[in-house]
Amino acid sequence: MLSARGLYTLMLRLAVPLVLVRLWWRGLREPGYRAHLGERFGRYDKRPSRSVIWVHAVSVGEVRAAAPLVQALLRRYPDHSVLMTCMTAAGRDTVDQVYGASVLRAFLPYDLPGAMRRFLTHFRPRLGIMMETEVWPNMLAACREQGVPVMLANARMSRQSARGYRRFAALTRPAFASFAAICAQDRTAARRLRALGARRAAIAGNLKFDVQADPVKTEEGRALMAALRGRQVLLLASTREGEEQMLLDALGERDDGTLIVVVPRHQQRFGDVAALLAARSLTVARRSLGEAPHAGRRVLLGDTMGEMSFYYALSTVAIIGGSFKPLGGQNLIEACAAGVPVIVGPHMFNFAEATRWAVKAGAAIQVADPTEGIRAARDLLASPEWRARMALAGLRLCAAHRGATEHHLGVVRALLRAPAPR
């Protein structure tokens, strides 16, 4: 009789043809999905000449969240190479944008035993660091066999995710138990992770509070804000499919002079959102084309990647997407750190603790739906005193919660004392 992991592996093998078709299909819009195909199955070119610390960040959000830790690793371990792996093409592109040539980059293979063994044999990492919620049973089993300690960093666990893992406990419980260490974002995440089988789950804080804004992009955003000469800016940040329509409906057709900046979460949706704005006969400037939002243009479409520091520096008020549909929300900490008043929808379960802190501190407002969100945004735009109080509350909140990087580095030091795998 097949074990739970054996059945999981069989299902993965059967899914490979469908996976290849999906890569080809996604590659129509994002050519990066058709590149480096061999890496998806554990086949790589040049072997690193130095010892490797491996950091896995599945996509864009995790790549950016890892930045304080990765930069600290580069400083503290200059005799090591840092390898960053991703699963998405956008994530890999973000590695290039954020880290340049300072790190190695690759796709992590699909969670097939042979592919994982080839990956580990090729790179021979001294330590694996998984960001946030990456729990791969065959990867963890292969690391255990080859003596590679694996740490779950900046770990979060929503109630919905915990329920899903419990449903497959025969598979996932041994996987959680395999982690050499877990650095949880908060007490709730640590408790849920222990209940799922984790043996070592300590509270280390949220690395996102340690992320530093890009100073060049911040200055660029402030310069554009100054050029707007007092025109207010409402940012619809990291919006997901369907949310732009809902928020624009709530805004209505009345143009009060506010510049609406729409920044979709995913690059592959930029064209769709541009078409949506055109269909509504809105006057639009596109950031990717270098178009400025001069008088008469009501909307700036943020169709670029890696520029959230620019968009937050430009903004008067920010509404955070991913939160008006049951998608778990997006990172609100970056807005708080920029001193921007924040409005979020009802579905922030992937950032539940940070949202609770921000609302309690007075840095964020949580609303029930897009209509209430737009109403709150208009109230804020009309009240400079209220905005100033929220901005200060956000800055203080972020200052109070910094320090997760040092907690993580302490765990890294302990794990690296173990002998390197042979």
Instruction: Give CA separation, 389 vs 132, 209, 320, 411, in Å.
Output: 31, 20, 19, 37
**How far out from the chain centre does Cα 339 lie?**
20
Give me the sign of the Cα torsion angle 299, 304, 310, 316.
positive
Instruction: Give CA separation, 173 vs 5, 111, 140, 187, in Å.
Output: 11, 17, 12, 20
Catalytic choice (62, 132, 134, 334): 62
Q: Is 220 a catalytic residue?
A: no
% helix, strand, coil for the chain, step of 5: 50, 15, 30
The answer to whether residues 46 and 122 touch, using CB atoms and an 8 Å cutoff, is no
Phi then psi dihedrals of residue 204, to 5 deg: -120, -5
DSSP characters over 277-301: HHHTT--EEEGGGT----TT--EEE
CA distance 206 to 195: 20
Kindly state the DSSP code that residue 2 receives in the 8-state scheme. Answer: -
Smallest Cα–Cα separation from 154: which of 213, 215, 87, 201?
Answer: 201
CA distance 119 to 108: 8
**3-state DSSP call for residue 346?**
coil
Tell me the catalytic residues: 62
